[in-house]
Amino acid sequence: MPRKSGPIAKRPIPHVKHVVAVASGKGGVGKSTVAANLAVALARQSLEGRTPRVGLLDLDIFGPSVPKLMGLEGLPPPELTKAGAIIPFSNHGLQCMSIGFMVPQTDDTAVVWRGLMVQKAAQQLLFDVDWRGHGGEGHPGLDVLVVDMPPGTGDVQLTLGQLVEVDGAVIVSTPQDVALIDAKKGVAMFRKVDVPIMGLLLNMAHFTCSTCSTPHHIFGPLSSFHQTADALNLKILGELPITPSVSADGDSGAPTMLRSGAPGNVQGVDEVQSVMDQVAKNVLATLSAKDGGRS
């Protein structure tokens, strides 16, 4: 018998006010590193006279990166509330959750699951986590949850887009056409499930060596990226340089946005921090405008 019901109703993630997805379409463009630094950058901003409460959710089932990027490797499985919800781990002032906390992660293990298992895992991470953390009922929950998406436009993306009230998506790409092709597919997928696109963020835009002041476009000119943004009628949120310390910071479990003191002493860090702070301000401005429209 044909179904007479309409599409599945989207719902909010418990104890989360706003959800922002960081996606790419293409793997290897630095999306997870951007997501981690965006979460830290958001937590550095001001929201209603206070710092926002921010969480980071890793939805990459096959290649989780958040445990490494946030310095949360080698931990025991997460605790559960009395109601059976998962309590996220916390580091650097952020609540964090990943399948990597629940499935043993070693150099020679892999998650080998069919689509249905991937969908179930994604739903559990989306709806069975208590983002109030160990504070429980005494904690107000999160203002913003940054969701690090896997590459592609498959099961996990559809699960998020069809089931969750997502406030917006930040699309990350590198300058070359092979990455932009997949970025455009990611934009089309989110638009198909009615997820607003906050804008495009260009990663690895240029490299400036320590002995000169001329930016080198290692992955080609930026013209294709700008043309793509114009064709899709999307805002360019920023252009991030290639900075060796960003990779080193991720490997050490402390995102570059956590650096303080005199970042100018480390090549490119001040530019990365400036761009990510501006992206965070744009994201919060979009969310505030959305709140104003609801009131």
**Distance set, CA 202 to CA 34, 215, 224, 264, 276 (Å):** 10, 15, 11, 22, 11
* Predicted local confidence at residue 265, as pLDDT: 55
**Distance set, CA 33 to CA 153, 260, 279 (Å):** 19, 18, 14
* Predicted local confidence at residue 112, as pLDDT: 77
* Predicted local confidence at residue 224, as pLDDT: 95
* Predicted local confidence at residue 261, as pLDDT: 62
Query: DSSP label at 235?
Result: -
The side-by-side arrangement of strands in the sheet containing 94-98 is: 89-91, 94-98, 54-58, 142-148, 16-23, 168-173, 197-202, 236-239
Provide Rg for the chain, Cα atoms.
19
Among residues 38, 86, 9, the alpha carbon closest in space to that of 275 is found at 38
* Predicted local confidence at residue 137, as pLDDT: 80
Give SS3 for 238. Answer: strand
* Predicted local confidence at residue 295, as pLDDT: 45
**Tokens 């699951």 sit at which residue?**
113
Domains assigned to the chain: 19-293 (3.40.50.300)
Cβ distance 234 to 200 under 8 Å?
Answer: yes
First to last CA, the chain: 42
* Predicted local confidence at residue 216, as pLDDT: 86
* Predicted local confidence at residue 153, as pLDDT: 86
pTM equals: 0.93
* Predicted local confidence at residue 114, as pLDDT: 82
**pLDDT in tens for each of the 295 residues of the chain?**
555 566 678 999 999 999 999 999 889 999 999 999 999 999 999 888 899 999 999 999 998 999 999 999 999 999 999 999 999 999 999 999 999 998 866 666 677 778 889 999 999 999 999 999 987 787 889 999 999 999 988 899 999 999 999 999 999 999 999 999 999 999 999 999 999 999 999 999 988 887 777 888 889 889 999 999 999 999 999 999 999 899 999 999 999 999 986 555 567 899 999 999 999 999 999 999 888 765 4
User: Where would I find the beta strands (DSSP E) of 133-187?
Assistant: 142-148, 168-173
- Give the distance, in angstroms, between the CA of residue 271 and the centroid of all CA atoms in the same chain: 20
Among residues 43, 94, 41, 34, the alpha carbon closest in space to that of 70 is found at 94
| CA distance linking residue 262 with residue 270, whole number of Å | 9
